[in-house]
Amino acid sequence: MTPLPGLGTQQEFTTESGRRIGVITYRDGRMELIVSDARDPDKICAATDLTGEETSTLANLLGAPQLVRQLSEQQREVTGVNTWQLPLTHGSPFDGRALGETEMRTRTSVSIVAVIRDGSVVPSPRPDFVFAGGDLVVVVGTAEGLRAAGEIMEHG
Domain CATH code at residue 67: 3.10.450
Of residues 100, 118, 128, the one with CA closest to residue 57: 118
Domain identity same for 44 and 102:
no
Q: Residue 76 contacts by C-beta under 8 Å, 6 or more apart in sequence?
A: none
Digit-by-digit pLDDT tens for the chain (156 residues) are 788 888 888 889 898 888 899 988 888 888 899 999 888 878 899 999 988 778 777 776 676 666 666 666 665 556 677 888 888 988 999 999 999 999 999 999 999 999 988 878 888 899 999 999 989 899 988 889 999 999 999 888
Looking at the structure of the chain, the number of domains it has is: 2
Of residues 41, 40, 39, the one with CA closest to residue 22: 41
Q: How far is CA 119 from its chain centroid? A: 6
Domain identity same for 70 and 93:
no
Last residue of a domain, one of 40, 59, 75: 75
Last residue of a domain, one of 43, 75, 107: 75
The Cα 68–Cα 70 span in angstroms is: 5
